[in-house]
Amino acid sequence: MAIIEQPRTNVALPAGTGAPALVTPKEAKGMFARPVEPKGWRDWVFTVDHKKIGIMYGVVAFVFFIVGGLEAMLIRLQLAAPNGKVLSAEQYNQMFTMHATTMVFLFVMPMASAFANYFVPLQIGARDVAFPRINAFGLWTFVAGAIFVNLSWFLGGGADGGWFMYAPNSTKMFSPGHGVDFWAFGLQITGIASLTGAINLIVTCINMRAPGMSLFKMPIFTWMIMVVQFLLVFAMPVITVALFLLSFSRGFGGAFFDVKQGADPLLWQHLFWIFGHPEVYILVLPSFGIVSEVLPVFSRKPLFGYKFVAISGAAIGFVGWGVWAHHMFASGLGPISVLVFSMATMMIAVPTGVKIINWTLTMWGGKLRFTTAMLFAIGLIVEFTIGGLSGVTHAVAPSDTQQTDTYYIVAHFHYVLFGGAIFGLFSGFYYWWPKVFGRLLNERWGKANFWLMVIGMNLTFGPMHIVGLQGQPRRMYRYDESNVHARFWNAISTVGAFVLALGILCFIVNVVITHRSKNPAVKAPLDPWDARSLEWMTSNPPPAHNFDAIPTVHELDEFFHRKYAVDHETDEIKQIATAEQIMAEQMAHAEKDIHLPSPSYWPLVVSLSLPIIGFGVIYSHILIAVGALVTILGLFGWSMEPSVATKDDYEPPAPTDDAIKELTA
Amino acid sequence: MSTAVEHASLGTDPNAEHTEHAGHGNSHYYLVALALAILTGLEVLLSYIDIGAAFMPLLLTLMMIKFIMVVLEFMHLRKDAKVFHFLFWSGFLLAIAVYIGFLATFKFFLQP
Amino acid sequence: MSTAAVAEHGTSHDDHGGGHGHTSTGLSNNKLAMWLFLGSECLLFGGLISTYMLYRGRHVKGPGPDQVFSIPYTSVSSFVLLMSSLTMVLAVAEAQKRNIDKAKLWMTVTAVLGATFVGGQVFEFTEFYRKGLGYTTSLFGSSFYTLTGFHGVHVTVGIIMLMATVGMLKSNKVPGDKAEVIELVGLYWHFVDIVWILIFTLVYLIPA
Ligand code: HEM
């Protein structure tokens, strides 16, 4: 495993070119001096370090979790009692649309990116991702897109077509404001971020593994992330097409959804769900990966059927492409399509069931430690299974025809999204916090956090099954007092939502007190959980170059195998080394002269040019040209800049190797 | 997009396949281009004459032959590593499968 | 595994500081990324082509495909694009033989052929517009212009990339392996060409 993108001075010169081939940084840096060793905030803004980028992804995503959560609270307040007056009908439409958009695209997806960015390179023993600057570009592009979508609140109101934005309902005729335009272009921008990020991570997994780490020695989290990135690479272009069709219809009068001209309203639905179903696995598989790391560690057993879990993850990803129309059973698809998609949907329950069984068997007979991370992982298994079971009831098309567009569906997808995706992410927070920040989150606040969230989510979403089956329609902005059942259960739901919010507040409090605390006990030991995988084989937090010496991998769960071995006489597993000893070994063999990729302005420039184009599409076409020009200039600057700054980028110039040798001699 | 692709500044070239190509001269490429031109001519010819039910299958086969020829010969995939095959063809085949399914739900293939 | 064994690993790979660009597979990161990107693009163009196929027969107003398409004209411009793939592959071949000057020449020829194709497309569009097919006229019009327009933009981006690479080669501003940069541009260019192979047959030659 080599240092990435290190330019070499002894380049083999192509014959016949005459002039020396290597560009000097002076020539390359173009108009700005390169930010080689920035300090303070600049160190973060221009960084290309995957760990800093991961942390920033996490922070921004969490901010949007709060935004989406506040939107959810407004929804629940509106429905707390009959004839709610908190929101008008228009505002309600905007609220649930933006709530869902925020949660899906601006929280769960980027939070998964945060974990992926931080831990994939560490888990495979790399010094960074394959394309560090593209990584920075992905982050800032996501931030730009996320802000762009939410600007609509201040510029005439948010999008109001529901998170799947069915056209023609979302065309100019039915949604004349700019909300949908902001939504469409904003998601286009975050889509670019996802696509580039996905390509980057796949290449990282393929090409940057430590020596000895074959595909089936990769930690399971990395595996799930890789599957997700493949889904992204192939699903994002589909939503791109759909969003372009929508934008062109709204902006330039394209006829795609004009039924008078003979348009088929199912066109959007198909394109959206061809993307949308892989998307739900994009949301949940990273969390599956996280709990597949957490459960073995806190059960003190290897993951049961590692290969099965890896392969069933890939299988879910693959079959996930063949079930999209189960979101459309009630749209008049025709009996054959319904039959085919119904069967495919039931099939996908099989690999999902495999995972649940593997997790359960991982815990079976293990020495369980009920830390907060473990509780969240167990919570995921339970709540996700409930959501999965109601999911199977939708797979039966006749039954789904009754359930679709009722609160039963809302209940289902919150059990899988909140109980699946979110619980997994929280498990990851508690498990990896010491790795990232060198501090242990408080377990007592953690338990409060967990139990309030579990109780809260079941109180909120459990009753939705009931009101749903009683016929309460989804996206209903109010109901009247005559409906006694609706009154009772909706009030319970709203109470539940507040309990949930309290749980999340506990998490925030936990973070604050952990980082304020002067108590030396919060400082994380090197290996706080007795963990198994490579990311724990370095300090907390890891140094910029991740590993002093890149480890050679011999086993799945390499770190565990370096700590423990089977004693051949007694047949018992015995500790042979401590984490500290392993770390010391590494430091003793530290590699010298590690060159990391250098910070750069260009990713930021290119990212920021994209919303300019977006404003151009919405307000004035001249801005499109301006934005495109900035993009092109940015790309030029980028492509002429070597990845690692060389010595004369420094001010004053860094000492040469010879000078250093003289000094140290 | 590709200007944005990071130019890994590898002085040495890890891909031995470059020297391989240098082996056979450029005449190979001219031959492929000639074949492509002839196939295109055939396609256009087909669209002018009436050969009944064989038209569509024949036309689509010619199209696919051209497609695959460019990918294997001009894009050098034939001699390149398996991963590249995997990455490209999985996208291509997935696209075909998904969009055929998509059109099928519109009863596209049942039209006269 | 003993600590002694660990110590052994620590020293068993001493090439890290050197930055040889050793990757797990020995392949170039850039090429992997490019192929993956092209795989992804298949789904983009697949969506646009399918939308067109679905809508090509739907024109309440304005002309249909058979009334506007001129097969001889488009055959010629398709041929031009097809041949630009030949010149591109020749550029790559020269670059790999380290004949950068010849490679620059072939790339310029490729860009000119590409520009000819785009010019032809612009002319074709104005011609169709004259015959009454605007972007908003019908489902056929919208989906036709969107599909071919997207392809045209891809060709244009390719031309910019070619010219930029030629310019950067001239002023020696390509960081890293030149042959590889040219190969990457080539991959993109060929992809744009194979998409047109599909479009030419599916859109123009199959009667609606
Ligand atoms: C913080 C706790 C949450 C509460 C209290 C909550 C509440 C709600 C409610 C009541 C609705 C239904 C609105 C309606 O149909 O009228 C809704 C819709 C939705 N929520 Fe949540 N939600 C929460 C978290 C999440 C999370 C974490 C996600 C995804 C990761 C999510 C995704 C969605 C989606 C996709 C919809 C559908 C919106 C639509 O109909 O277009 N929610 N939420």
Per-residue pLDDT tens digits for C100-143: 999 999 999 999 999 999 999 999 999 999 999 999 999 999 99
Mean pLDDT of chain B, nearest integer: 81
Closest-CA residue to A396 (of A332, A342, A319): A342
Residue A14 region by backbone torsions, left for phi larger than 0, else alpha for psi between -120 and 50, else beta: beta
Categorize the per-residue pLDDT at A331 as very low, low, confident or very high, splitting at 50, 70 and 90. Answer: confident
Q: Is the CB of A410 under 6 A from ligand 1?
A: yes
Give the least confident one: A22-26, A406-410, C108-112. A22-26
CA of A387 to the centre of ligand 1 (A): 14
At A464-497, the pLDDT tens digits run 999 999 999 999 999 988 888 889 999 999 999 9
Give the least confident one: A10-14, A362-366, A576-580, C107-111. A10-14
Q: What residues contact A143, with CB distance under 8 A and at least 6 apart?
A: A60, A607
At A497-531, the pLDDT tens digits run 999 999 999 999 999 999 998 888 889 999 999 99
Categorize the per-residue pLDDT at A661 as very low, low, confident or very high, splitting at 50, 70 and 90. Answer: low
Nearest chain B Cα distance for residue C125, angstroms: 21
CB pairs under 8 A between B and C: 181
Contact between B11 and C180 under an 8 Å Cβ cutoff? The reply is: no
For the segment B62-69, the average pLDDT, to the nearest whole number, is 96
Residues of B in contact with A639 (CB under 8 A): 3-4, 7
- CATH classification at residue A203: 1.20.210.10
For the segment B71-77, the average pLDDT, to the nearest whole number, is 95
Proportion of chain C above pLDDT 70, given as a percent: 89
Q: Which of A410, A422, A460, A500 to mutate to test the pocket of ligand 1 (most atoms within 8 A of CB)?
A: A410
Is residue A7's pLDDT more than 70? no
Q: Examine residue A223 and state whether it is found in any structural domain, yes or no.
A: yes
Do A206 and B102 make contact, defined as CB atoms within 8 angstroms? Answer: no
Q: Do the strands A564-567 and A572-575 form a parallel or antiparallel pair, or are they unpaired?
A: antiparallel
Do B4 and A638 make contact, defined as CB atoms within 8 angstroms? Answer: yes
Q: What pLDDT, on a 0 to 100 scale, did the predictor assign at position B8? A: 37
Categorize the per-residue pLDDT at A596 as very low, low, confident or very high, splitting at 50, 70 and 90. Answer: confident
Q: How many whole angstroms from its chain centre is CA C115?
A: 13
Q: Which of B105, B107, B109, B111 has the highest number of chain A CBs within 10 A, making it the mutation to test binding with A?
A: B105
What is the number of structural domains in chain A? 1
Q: Examine residue B97 and state whether it is found in any structural domain, yes or no.
A: yes
Give me the domain span that covers residue A194.
Answer: 37-576
Q: Which of C31, C45, C184 has the highest number of chain B CBs within 10 A, making it the mutation to test binding with B?
A: C31
Categorize the per-residue pLDDT at B24 as very low, low, confident or very high, splitting at 50, 70 and 90. Answer: low
Closest-CA residue to A67 (of A115, A100, A113, A112): A100
Is residue A349's pLDDT more than 90? no
Sign of the alpha-carbon dihedral angle for A410, A415, A420, A424: positive
Q: Which of B34, B88, B98, B107 has the highest number of chain C CBs within 10 A, making it the mutation to test binding with C?
A: B88
Closest-CA residue to A250 (of A189, A184, A159, A186): A184
Q: What pLDDT, on a 0 to 100 scale, did the predictor assign at position A435? A: 96
Mean pLDDT of chain A, nearest integer: 89
Categorize the per-residue pLDDT at A656 as very low, low, confident or very high, splitting at 50, 70 and 90. Answer: low
Q: What is the largest CA-CA distance in chain A?
A: 90
Q: Examine residue A588 and state whether it is found in any structural domain, yes or no.
A: no
Contact between C180 and B13 under an 8 Å Cβ cutoff? The reply is: yes
Q: Is the CB of A112 under 6 A from ligand 1?
A: no
Q: What pLDDT, on a 0 to 100 scale, did the predictor assign at position A406? A: 94
Sign of the alpha-carbon dihedral angle for C160, C162, C163, C164: positive
Q: Which of A8, A230, A274 sits opposite B98 (nearest CB)?
A: A274
Q: Which of C33, C85, C175 sits opposite B70 (nearest CB)?
A: C85
Q: What pLDDT, on a 0 to 100 scale, did the predictor assign at position C107? A: 96
At C22-38, the pLDDT tens digits run 688 889 999 999 999 99
Categorize the per-residue pLDDT at A591 as very low, low, confident or very high, splitting at 50, 70 and 90. Answer: confident
Contact between A189 and A145 under an 8 Å Cβ cutoff? The reply is: yes
Q: What pLDDT, on a 0 to 100 scale, did the predictor assign at position A590? A: 86
Q: What residues contact A217, with CB distance under 8 A and at least 6 apart?
A: A553, A555, A556, A558
Residues of B in contact with A206 (CB under 8 A): 83
Give the least confident one: A37-41, A225-229, A302-306. A37-41
Is residue A35's pLDDT more than 80? no
Q: What pLDDT, on a 0 to 100 scale, did the predictor assign at position A25? A: 42
For the segment A231-238, the average pLDDT, to the nearest whole number, is 97
Closest-CA residue to C165 (of C116, C107, C114, C97): C107
- Give nearest CA residue, ligand 1 atom 22: A72
Q: Is the CB of A75 under 6 A from ligand 1?
A: yes
For every residue of chain C, which 3-state class applies, written as one string? CCHHHHHHHHHCCCCCCCCCCCCCCCCCHHHHHHHHHHHHHHHHHHHHHHHHHHHCCCCCCCCCHHHHCCHHHHHHHHHHHHHHHHHHHHHHHHHHCCCHHHHHHHHHHHHHHHHHHHHHHHHHHHHHHHCCCCCCCCHHHHHHHHHHHHHHHHHHHHHHHHHHHHHHHHCCCCCCCHHHHHHHHHHHHHHHHHHHHHHHHHHHHCCC
Residues of B in contact with C45 (CB under 8 A): 95
Cα(A457)–Cα(C76) distance, integer angstroms = 64
Do A203 and C19 make contact, defined as CB atoms within 8 angstroms? Answer: no
Q: What pLDDT, on a 0 to 100 scale, did the predictor assign at position B112? A: 57
Q: Which of A227, A319, A337 has the highest number of chain B CBs within 10 A, making it the mutation to test binding with B?
A: A337
Do B70 and C34 make contact, defined as CB atoms within 8 angstroms? Answer: no
Proportion of chain A above pLDDT 70, given as a percent: 92
CB pairs under 8 A between A and B: 68
Q: What pLDDT, on a 0 to 100 scale, did the predictor assign at position B110? A: 83
Categorize the per-residue pLDDT at A586 as very low, low, confident or very high, splitting at 50, 70 and 90. Answer: confident
For the segment C71-77, the average pLDDT, to the nearest whole number, is 94
Cα(A389)–Cα(A409) distance, integer angstroms = 12
Helix (H, G, I), strand (E, B) or coil at A565: strand
Q: What pLDDT, on a 0 to 100 scale, did the predictor assign at position A33? A: 64
For B47, counting Cβ atoms within 10 Å of its Cβ (0-12 exposed, 13-18 middle, 19+ buried), the class is: middle
Do C19 and A592 make contact, defined as CB atoms within 8 angstroms? Answer: no
CATH top-level class for C28-205?
Answer: mainly alpha
Q: Is the CB of A284 under 6 A from ligand 1?
A: no
Q: Is the CB of A464 under 6 A from ligand 1?
A: no
What is the number of structural domains in chain B? 1
For the segment A153-161, the average pLDDT, to the nearest whole number, is 92
Q: Which of C24, C48, C101 sits opposite A206 (nearest CB)?
A: C24
For the whole model, what pTM was predicted? 0.90
Task: Check if C85 contacts A (Cβ < 8 Å).
Answer: no
Q: Is the CB of A316 under 6 A from ligand 1?
A: no
Which chains pack against C, by 3+ Cβ pairs within 8 A?
A: A, B
Q: Examine residue B15 and state whether it is found in any structural domain, yes or no.
A: no
Q: Examine residue A191 and state whether it is found in any structural domain, yes or no.
A: yes
Q: Which of C3, C10, C39 sits opposite A577 (nearest CB)?
A: C3
Q: What pLDDT, on a 0 to 100 scale, did the predictor assign at position A17? A: 37
Residue A566 host element (H or E): strand A564-567
Nearest chain B residue to C80, by CA: B37
Give the least confident one: A458-462, A548-552, C158-162. A548-552
CA of A67 to the centre of ligand 1 (A): 12
Residues of B in contact with A274 (CB under 8 A): 98, 102
Is residue A79's pLDDT more than 60? yes
For the segment B8-30, the average pLDDT, to the nearest whole number, is 54
Do C29 and A207 make contact, defined as CB atoms within 8 angstroms? Answer: yes
For the segment A368-392, the average pLDDT, to the nearest whole number, is 95
Q: What residues contact A168, with CB distance under 8 A and at least 6 apart?
A: A174, A257, A258, A259, A263, A265, A268
Residues of B in contact with A606 (CB under 8 A): 4
CA of A371 to the centre of ligand 1 (A): 28
Higher-confidence position of B7 and A215: A215
CA of B81 to the centre of ligand 1 (A): 45
Which chains pack against A, by 3+ Cβ pairs within 8 A?
A: B, C
CA of A584 to the centre of ligand 1 (A): 49
Q: Examine residue B40 and state whether it is found in any structural domain, yes or no.
A: yes
Q: Which of A64, A414, A492 to mutate to test the pocket of ligand 1 (most atoms within 8 A of CB)?
A: A414
At A240-299, the pLDDT tens digits run 999 999 999 998 999 999 999 999 999 999 999 999 999 999 999 999 999 999 999 999
Contact between A129 and A117 under an 8 Å Cβ cutoff? The reply is: yes
Do A552 and C9 make contact, defined as CB atoms within 8 angstroms? Answer: yes
CA angle A318, A206, A634 (to 5 degrees): 100
Q: What pLDDT, on a 0 to 100 scale, did the predictor assign at position A504? A: 97
Give me the domain span that covers residue B32.
Answer: 25-110
Q: What is the largest CA-CA distance in chain B?
A: 59
Do C36 and A19 make contact, defined as CB atoms within 8 angstroms? Answer: no
Q: What pLDDT, on a 0 to 100 scale, did the predictor assign at position A593? A: 75
Q: What pLDDT, on a 0 to 100 scale, did the predictor assign at position B87? A: 96
At A601-648, the pLDDT tens digits run 899 999 999 999 999 989 988 999 999 999 999 998 888 887 777 655
For every residue of B84-96, which 3-state class applies, written as one string? HHHHHHHHHHHHH
For the segment B42-68, the average pLDDT, to the nearest whole number, is 92
What type of residue is A647?
Answer: K
For the segment B72-85, the average pLDDT, to the nearest whole number, is 93
Q: Examine residue B5 and state whether it is found in any structural domain, yes or no.
A: no
Do C47 and B99 make contact, defined as CB atoms within 8 angstroms? Answer: yes
Residue A572 host element (H or E): strand A572-575
Q: Is the CB of A474 under 6 A from ligand 1?
A: yes
Residues of B in contact with A325 (CB under 8 A): 105
What type of residue is A504?
Answer: I
